Amino acid sequence: MSSDQIPLEVDIEGAVLLTNPLLNKGTAFTDEERTAFSLHGLLPPRVGTLDAQVARRLQAVRAFTRDLDRYVFLRGLQDANETLFYALLTRHLTEMLPLIYTPTVGQACEQFSHYWHFPRGLFLSWPHRDIINQILAHPRYDRIETIVVSDGERILGLGDQGAGGMGIPIGKLSIYTACAGLDPATTLPILLDTGTDNAERIADPLYMGWKHERVRGADYDAFIETFISAVTKRWPRVLLQWEDFARVNAGPLLERYRDRLCSFNDDIQGTAAVAAATLLAGTKVSGISLCDQRFVLFGAGTAGSGIGRMLLDLMVHEGLTRREAQDRFFAVDRHGLLVEGMADLQSFQAPFVKSRAAVAGWQLARPDRIDLLDTVRNVRPTVLIGVSGQPGAFTEDIIRSMADSVERPLIFPLSNPLSRCEATPADLARWTGGRALIGTGSPFPPVVIDGQPVTVNQTNNAYIFPGVGLAVHAVGARRISDAMFVAAARALAALAPKATQAHPKLLPPVEGLRDVAVAVARAVALQARADGLCAGFEDEELDRLIAAKRWEPVYRPYRRSR
Which segments are annotated as binding site for a divalent metal cation? Answer: 243-244, 267
The answer to whether 450 and 434 have CB atoms below 8 angstroms apart is yes
Helix 167-175 × helix 465-475 angle, to 10°: 70
Distances (CA, A) of 310 to 215, 296, 492: 32, 14, 14
Spatial neighbors of 176 by CB under 8 A, at least 6 apart, are: 146, 148, 182, 187, 465, 466, 469
Instruction: Report the phi/psi class of residue 451: left, alpha or beta, with left for phi > 0 and alpha for psi in -120 to 50.
Output: left
User: What is the residue type of 494?
Assistant: A
| DSSP code, position 187 | E
Residues paired with 260 in a beta bridge = none
Structural Rg of the chain based on CA atoms: 24
Direct distance between the N- and C-terminal alpha carbons of the chain, in angstroms, rounded to an integer? 21
State the burial class of residue 235 (Cβ atoms within 10 Å of its Cβ: 0-12, 13-18, 19+): buried
Spatial neighbors of 380 by CB under 8 A, at least 6 apart, are: 294, 402, 405, 406
Q: How far apart are the C-alpha atoms of 466 and 461, rounded to whole Å?
A: 9
Q: How far apart are the C-alpha atoms of 384 and 477, rounded to whole Å?
A: 35
Q: How far apart are the C-alpha atoms of 85 and 454, rounded to whole Å?
A: 31
Cα–Cα–Cα angle for 417, 420, 424, rounded to 5 degrees = 95
Give φ, ψ of 291 to 5 degrees: -70, -15
**Which active-site residues does the annotation give?**
101, 172
Distances (CA, A) of 359 to 337, 384, 398, 476, 556: 10, 19, 19, 48, 65
Cβ neighbours around 199 below 10 Å, total: 10
Binding-site residues for (S)-malate, please? Answer: 154, 416, 460
Q: How far apart are the C-alpha atoms of 174 and 172, rounded to whole Å?
A: 5
The answer to whether 351 and 312 have CB atoms below 8 angstroms apart is yes
Distances (CA, A) of 355 to 91, 102, 351, 420: 53, 38, 11, 31
